[in-house]
């Protein structure tokens, strides 16, 4: 480890453990979680040799290319409310990215988008991904590790990701300082995690829906693990599932899945 740095935000505080190289920041933090690590502990690494994404995918994590950060939470919530933590993580990532793209912290063209459940997109290319992993004891959450990866520079993105991935350096000429970006993101995380801890779900849902073009009215195909569904999005249910009205007229809440295909949103069309 390189250094330890305390931090404090409104709803979360702890120590940041800065590393040069780790396998995966999520794995480092999961081990700490199991050995009694405190809520709010953060791990940030310059390089991950085994960075992981959702559904067993790799997360390429080369030096200087991005932020690789994980936060340890011990939320006092039932397992079925864990989706709130996922929504909060996406909100925080979008807000931090928008803030660094625009000096005034706004995103007037609505370029930064959340692809359900928590991929962050710019111009329909992925700029950030979130991997939430949990340890559970009988219907309660013992710990949750939220891993956030943000592409800061595009130089080291592999050619197979051309057209699918984008980095902050592709959209702003102002260099983004990783450490300042991480501190900003943690401040926002504390604010929104505080709302989740206080069960202020309506605020979380409204904000997520404001930030995601997937929230309502999009025709999608979604792989749920129990088959592919096709239908139109209708917002979020109280536990954070995506409501989809199927072509048959039935409405379903989907909690785990992958959006396979979307009909292009007018919001993301070139001007």
Closer CB to ligand BTN, 56 or 266, in the complex: 56
Binding residues among 110-169 for ligand BTN as defined by CB under 6 A: 119, 129-131, 147-149
- Pick 37 or 149: Cβ nearer ligand BTN: 149
**Min CB(93)–ligand BTN separation in Å:** 10
What is the nearest approach in angstroms of ligand BTN to the Cβ of residue 53? Answer: 3
Looking at residues 6 to 65 of the shown chain, list those that interact with ligand BTN (rule: CB under 6 A): 24-26, 48, 51-54, 57, 59
Q: Which is nearer to ligand BTN, 164 or 206 (CB)?
A: 164
- Taking CB positions, which residue lies at the least distance from ligand BTN? 129
Under 8 Å CB-to-CB from 228, ≥6 apart: which residues? 221, 222, 260
Question: Of 123 and 232, which has the nearer Cβ to ligand BTN?
Answer: 123
# residues contacting ligand BTN (CB under 6 A) = 20
Question: What DSSP letter does each residue of the chain carry, written as one string?
Answer: --EEEEEE-SS-EEEEEEEEEES-HHHHHHHHHHTTPPTT-EEEEEEESS-B-GGG-B--B-TTTEEEEEEEE---SBGGGTHHHHHHHHHHHHHHHHHHHSTTS--TT--EEEETTTEEEETTEEEEEEEEEEEEETTEEEEEEEEEEEE--STTS-GGGTTTB--HHHH-SSPPPHHHHHHHHHHHHHHHHHHHHTT-HHHHHHHHHHH-TTSEEEEEEEE-SS-EEEEEEEEE-TTSPEEEEETTS-EEEE-S-EEEEEPPPGGGS--
State which of residues 68, 193, 201, 214 lies at the interface with ligand BTN (CB under 6 A).
Answer: 68
Residues 177-206 vs ligand BTN: string with x where CB under 6 A? ------------------------------
257 near ligand BTN, judged by CB under 6 A = no
Q: In whole angstroms, how close is the CB of 148 to ligand BTN at the nearest point?
A: 6
Binding residues for ligand BTN, per CB under 6 A?
24-26, 48, 51-54, 57, 59, 68-70, 119, 129-131, 147-149
């Amino acid at each position: 480890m390189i250094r330890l740095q305390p931090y404090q935000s409104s709803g979360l505080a702890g120590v940041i453990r800065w590393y040069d190289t780790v396998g995966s920041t999520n794995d480092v933090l999961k081990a700490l979680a199991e050995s009694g690590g405190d809520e709010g502990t953060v791990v940030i690494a310059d390089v991950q040799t085994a960075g992981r994404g959702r559904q067993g995918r790799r997360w390429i994590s080369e030096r200087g290319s991005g932020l690789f950060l994980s936060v340890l939470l011990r939320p006092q919530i039932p397992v079925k409310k864990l989706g709130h933590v996922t929504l909060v993580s996406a909100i925080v990532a979008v807000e931090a990215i928008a803030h660094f793209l625009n000096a005034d912290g706004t995103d007037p063209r609505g370029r930064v988008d959340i692809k359900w459940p928590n991929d962050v997109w710019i111009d329909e290319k992925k700029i950030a991904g979130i991997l939430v992993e949990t340890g559970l004891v009988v219907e309660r959450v013992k710990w949750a590790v939220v891993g956030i990866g943000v592409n800061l520079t595009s130089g080291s993105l592999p050619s197979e990701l051309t057209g699918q991935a984008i980095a902050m350096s592709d959209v702003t000429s102002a260099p983004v300082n990783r450490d300042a970006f991480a501190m900003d993101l943690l401040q926002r995380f504390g604010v929104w995690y505080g709302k989740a801890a206080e069960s202020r779900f309506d605020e979380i849902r409204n904000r997520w829906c404001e930030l995601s073009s997937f929230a309502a009215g999009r025709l999608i195909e979604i792989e749920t693990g129990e088959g592919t569904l096709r239908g139109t999005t209708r917002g979020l249910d109280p536990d954070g599932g995506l409501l989809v009205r199927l072509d048959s007229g039935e409405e379903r809440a989907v909690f785990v899945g992958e959006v396979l295909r979307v009909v292009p949103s007018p919001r993301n069309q070139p001007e």
